[in-house]
Amino acid sequence: MQDVIIPYEAGTFLVSVAKYVDNLLTHHYNLEPYYNVDTPEDFIGHLIIGLAPHTSVGIVGRVVGFTNAQACFATPYWHSAKRRDCDGDGDSIILLMDVLLNFSKKFLPSIIGGLMDAPLLIQPLILPREVQRQAHHMDVASCYPLEFYEVTLRNESPSSIAKSMDIIKNRLGKKEQFTGFHFTHETDAITVKQSRSSYSTLVTLNEKLDRQIELAEKIHAVNPDEVVKSVLRTHLLPDIIGNTKAFTSQRFRCKSCGAKFRRVPMRGNCLNCGGELQPSVTRGSVEKYLQLGLRLSNKYDVGEYLRSRFVLAAEELATLFEPEAHQTDMVDYVSNSHSIGEEFEEHTAVEPISVNMELLMEDSIQGEEKKHTLRKEKVKEVYQATLF
């Protein structure tokens, strides 16, 4: 069983949930109440389910205390079993009895992704060998050997000293994989004054990435270019490609009756009720990371290949979307109309001349082709200009 320290604020909310569960047991199932709690401290010893975002397997934990920080403190086994790499996303905790009584697949939406963020499975025990390797690399020594400090001076790879360090990986399959976890320094507090991480207080992804890169630039052991390259390759670029594909193959949904159509009908509205149709994938979801990706790929040394991928993505979206319309002022409209009228009077005042009709038609066709090419290039330039 994995012990967990949960936020005190979460404990106050769980008191209300527990009271609801007890009322459900009493009035609906004709059973005795289970929790009988009045304060968060009454949850000590009770079981909860930890569920990470975008997953569907809940991990059982036991409440052993509370913290003022907006975080759950537990062994790396518990966090790793939830398939989280401590990337800042917030976990959810659910009372075990609440899951057993109130969860059903019938409550889940039928859309893609509807099975995520729901406890489809519950894992009561954790096998250390099956958790992610990040947990296996944690050291549990009470002090570091001299060899460790010598290796740091030579800037060698951490793997070169792995066998000399007391890490979880070297304890797998032994009884010591569960007990005897030491630390190097005593402390009377494991939290800081700031109870919330910057990841939860910052609003936009631009702000979060800028702070992450700013931190990488301050740490000598971290290469900021590699950090940016990893973010672009594993997050931003796949998101742009995936959303572009989803946009070009999306369906349209009626706002009134919910009917779905592979293509917009000729009449422009729902064939069932005549309601307005809306796309399932918007332009904003496709372009949301493009400007950020172009900025980072130009600012940092991420390689010509990765940089060109974002340029090609921008060119592809330039052909997919028209540039956003610019509203013309009335003054501009009047002045343009006046200038057009003057040009028309000048042309009408010119004496008629004889022309070769075949040559005129050939020039007209070539002129239209040239205008089409220039118009296409202009659209691409205007679209790319809006990205910066």
Residue 91 inside a domain? The answer is: yes
Rounded-to-integer distance, Cα 207 and Cα 216, Å: 14
Task: Tell me: do 126 and 210 sit in the same domain.
Answer: no
Give domain status of residue 230, yes or no.
Answer: yes
Q: What angle do CA 44, 49, 52 make, to 5 degrees?
A: 130
Backbone φ, ψ for residue 59 (5° rounding): -110, 130
By DSSP bridging, strand 47-51 and strand 277-279 are: unpaired
Looking at residue 194, its pLDDT comes to 72
Q: What's the maximum distance between 2 C-alpha atoms anywhere in the chain?
A: 104
Contacts of 385 (CB under 8 A, 6+ apart): none
- Cα separation, 278 vs 352, in Å, equals 54
CATH number at residue 44: 2.40.40
Mean pLDDT over residues 207-215, rounded?
88
- The yes-or-no verdict on residue 122 having pLDDT over 60 is yes
For residue 39, the model assigns a pLDDT of 94
State residue 191's pLDDT score: 80
**Residue-wise pLDDT tens digits, 233-245:** 998 999 998 888 8
Co-location of 113 and 210 in the same domain? no
Confidence of residue 304 (pLDDT cuts 50, 70, 90): very high
Query: Are 7 and 116 part of one and the same domain?
Result: yes
Domain closes at, from 103, 131, 159: 131
- Give yes or no: residues 239 and 119 share one domain: no
Please tell me whether residues 111 and 7 are part of one structural domain.
Answer: yes
Residues 8 and 124 in one domain: yes
Q: Are 303 and 228 within 8 A, CB to CB?
A: no
Same domain membership, residue 113 and residue 12: yes
Report pLDDT for 53: 83
Closest CA to 116 of 162, 52, 46: 52
* Phi and psi, residue 57, nearest 5°: -120, 120
Is the confidence at residue 137, as pLDDT, over 60?
yes
What residues make up the domain containing 31? 2-131
Ramachandran region of residue 356, left (φ > 0), alpha (ψ -120 to 50) or beta? beta
Residue 151 lies in a domain: no
φ and ψ at residue 34, rounded to 5 degrees: -100, -45
- Asked if the structure places residue 376 within a domain, the reply is no
Judge if 123 and 220 occupy the same domain.
Answer: no
| Domain closes at, from 320, 348, 367 | 320
**Whole-number pLDDT of residue 261:** 85
CA distance readout (Å), 218 to 45, 158, 230, 295? 42, 21, 18, 20
Q: What would the mean pLDDT of 376-388 be, rounded to a whole number?
A: 54
Q: How many residues are there in the chain?
A: 388
Task: Say if residue 126 is in the same domain as residue 246.
Answer: no
Mean pLDDT computed over every residue of the chain:
82
**What is the H or E stretch that residue 183 is in?**
none
Same domain assignment for residues 107 and 11: yes
Residues 307-338 pLDDT 10s: 999 999 888 888 888 766 555 555 555 555 55
pLDDT at 68: 87
* Residues whose CB is less than 8 angstroms from the CB of residue 141 and which lie 6 or more positions away in sequence, other chains included: 165, 166, 182, 184
Residue 153 located in a structural domain: no
What tokens were used for 308?
A: 């060109």
Positive or negative, the CA dihedral 110, 281, 119, 21 is negative
Do 206 and 300 belong together in one domain? yes
Q: Is 87 exposed, middle or buried (0-12, 13-18, 19+ CB in 10 A)?
A: exposed
In this predicted structure, what is the pLDDT of residue 135?
87
Contact criterion met (CB below 8 Å) for 2 and 76: no
pLDDT at 327: 54
Residue 88: band (very low, low, confident or very high) from pLDDT cuts 50, 70, 90:
very low
In a domain, 218, yes or no: yes
| Structural domain count of the chain | 2
176 in any annotated domain: no
What would the DSSP string read from start to end of 37-64? -SSGGGGTT-EEEEE-TT--EEEEEEEE
Q: Is 338 inside a domain boundary?
A: no
pLDDT at 260: 85
Q: 68, 102, 131 — which closes off a domain?
A: 131
Query: 142 is written with which tokens?
Result: 């009470």
350 pLDDT tier (thresholds 50, 70, 90): very low
CA 314/CA 142 separation, integer angstroms: 53
Q: Are 25 and 100 in contact (CB under 8 A)?
A: no
* Angle formed by the axes of helices 205-218 and 290-299, nearest 10°: 20
Residue 388: per-residue pLDDT: 45
32 and 116, same domain (yes or no)? yes
How far apart CA 171 and CA 180 sit, in angstroms, is 10
Mean pLDDT over 330-348 rounds to 54
